[in-house]
Amino acid sequence: MVLMDAIILYFCAQPTQSEMKELVASFTAQLRQAVEIGEKATFTPSKNPIRNVLITGLGGSGIGGSIINQIVEHEIKVPITVNKDYFIPAFVGPETLVIVSSYSGNTEETLGAMEIAMSRGAKMVCVTSGGKVLEIAKANGFDHIIIPGGMPPRACLAYSFTQLFYVLHGFGLISNSFKADFETSIHLLDHEEEHICSEAYYLAEKLHKKIPVIYSQANFEAVCIRFRQQINENSKMLCWHHALPEMNHNELVGWTIPNDKLAVVFFRNETDYDRTKTRMELTKEIVKKYTPYIFEVYSKGATQLQRSLYLIHFGDWVSWYISEIRNIDATEVKVIDFLKGELSKI
Contact at 8 Å (CB) between 78 and 51? yes
Q: Measure Cα distances from 298 to 72, 200, 266, 268 in Å.
A: 21, 12, 8, 5
Report how far residue 343's alpha carbon sits from residue 337's, in angstroms, rounded to the nearest whole number.
10
Report how far residue 200's alpha carbon sits from residue 321's, in angstroms, rounded to the nearest whole number.
7
Contact at 8 Å (CB) between 270 and 205? no
**Which are the catalytic amino acids?**
233, 249, 340
The b-or-e profile of 88-122 (16+ CB within 10 A means b, else e) is beeebeebbbbbbbbbbbbbebbbebbeebeeeeb
- Pick from 301, 287, 64: nearest CA to 192: 301
Contact at 8 Å (CB) between 215 and 201? no
Other beta carbons within 10 Å of 207: 23
Contact at 8 Å (CB) between 59 and 153? yes
User: Is omega for the bond preceding 292 within 30 degrees of 0, making it cis?
Assistant: no
